[in-house]
Amino acid sequence: MAFGIEAVELRRVALPLVAPFRASFGTESVRDVLLVRVLTAEGEGWGECVARSEPLYSAEFVDSAELVVRNHLVPRVWPAAQPEDVASLLRPVKGHPMAKAAVELAVLDAWLQAAGVPLATYLGGERDRVDVGVSVGIASSLDALLSTVAGYVDAGYRRVKLKIEPGWDVEPVAAVRAEFPGVALQVDANGAYTLADAPVLGALDGFGLVLIEQPFPDDDLAAHTTLARRMSTPICLDESITSAARAVEAIDRGACSIVNIKPGRVGGYLEAKAVHDACVARRVPVWCGGMLETGIGRAANLALASLPGFTLPADLSASDRYFRADLTRPFVLEGSQLAVPTGPGIGVAPLPSALEEYTTSVTTVRRP
């Protein structure tokens, strides 16, 4: 299919969160989001950059992502004739996977809309609904934590993920497990511990957790391998998984037995599919992680999570989990599932009224 990019729009939006979300890598009250809009003769496509306001989850942050997209990625993406071209065109730029993923998604959306093909179909998805869970940040008190979890369990979420960090780990996990003995429970450390904390982490074995996610820094596969040998709770890697090759290395070393796939972290949805395929070939379950995406990124993540290897609930909660008003029509929980969009491309588009209310800046780069 002929495909020509005529312009790329970079739009910043500031979307208030329902409540501040706190994890070991920082606290956010507003999502400062970079949206990438690709304009072609046939139409348009939208992508979302998941970089945060500060370089605490990863080296990327939203101000740097906008600069990289504008000055270094857009000039290289003009020749793209199909989505598969994007990664190779952008490969000379080192790093910046979240910025690259946003550009790739916008191209994918535009190309698939023109072809009339849903993203889920293009990626090989097999489900029309995805089981989802909820991620709960570090609370101000145990009572506040239990109240928050109770609200989500009552809403229909059957899997709860608790953020943990040194000093907020065994006690809150024990309290939640005692109050909700039947809920599927997992924890996420975002690399906050070291191997010296292994006895504390080992104490979590007694709570029947689905998994413990990224206990150690992303570059320390050796420590994860050591912990995996000591614990019965499965180790899941998140920040450590930056590509399909890295996933294979981590699995082969015994550093994890479950993988969290985030398209922004691995550089795009096509590489995310490659991670999925590598894990399926090694019989390692995967699940789709979330990064407080708006409806644009949430729609694309649901398409990815419809692939057959995603056998654990995704971190893709309903829109009202995070936002009083989303940029798209809200995603609504149906039982414990979200519907996979069926329209061409990502299947959703931002609402003009939402863009008008929440946009803070727009820059358009036109093809030379």
Tell me, yes or no, whether 183 and 203 share the same domain.
yes
What's the CATH code of the domain at 47? 3.30.390.10
Residues 138 and 112 in one domain: no
Question: What's the pLDDT score for residue 45?
Answer: 97
Least confident segment among 3-7, 193-197, 221-225, 353-357: 3-7
CATH value at residue 274: 3.20.20.120
Q: Are residues 99 and 210 in the same domain?
A: no
96 belongs to a structural domain: yes
Q: Looking at the annotation, which residues are catalytic?
A: 163, 262
**Model's pTM, two decimal places?**
0.94
CA pair distance 315, 322, nearest whole angstrom: 12
Q: How much is the pLDDT for 327?
A: 96
- Residue-range definition of the domain harbouring residue 266: 121-339
Confidence of residue 24 (pLDDT cuts 50, 70, 90): low
Q: Based on the domain organization, do 75 and 148 belong to the same domain?
A: no
Q: Is residue 126 part of a domain?
A: yes
Q: Considering the domain boundaries, does residue 345 fall inside one? A: no
Averaged pLDDT for residues 138-154: 95
346 falls within a domain: no
Q: What is the mean pLDDT of the chain?
A: 95
Residue 344 lies in a domain: no
Q: Kindly state whether residues 104 and 169 are assigned to the same domain.
A: no
Over the stretch 228-259, which tens digit does the pLDDT of each residue have?
A: 999 999 999 999 999 999 999 999 999 999 99
Query: Do 200 and 304 share a domain, yes or no?
Result: yes
Residue 132 lies in a domain: yes
Q: Are residues 150 and 264 in the same domain?
A: yes
**Model confidence over 106-137: pLDDT tens digits?**
999 999 999 999 999 999 999 999 999 999 99
Do 192 and 241 share a domain, yes or no? yes
Residues 29 and 153 in one domain: no
- Domain co-membership, 204 together with 64: no
Residue 237 domain-assigned? yes
Same-domain check for residues 196 and 310 = yes
**Domain assignment of residue 162, yes or no:** yes
Q: Are residues 330 and 359 in the same domain?
A: no
State which amino acid sits at residue 330: P
Read off the pLDDT of residues 168-181 as tens digits, 9 standing for 90 and up: 999 999 999 999 99
* Domain tally, the chain: 2
pLDDT at residue 1 is higher than 90? no
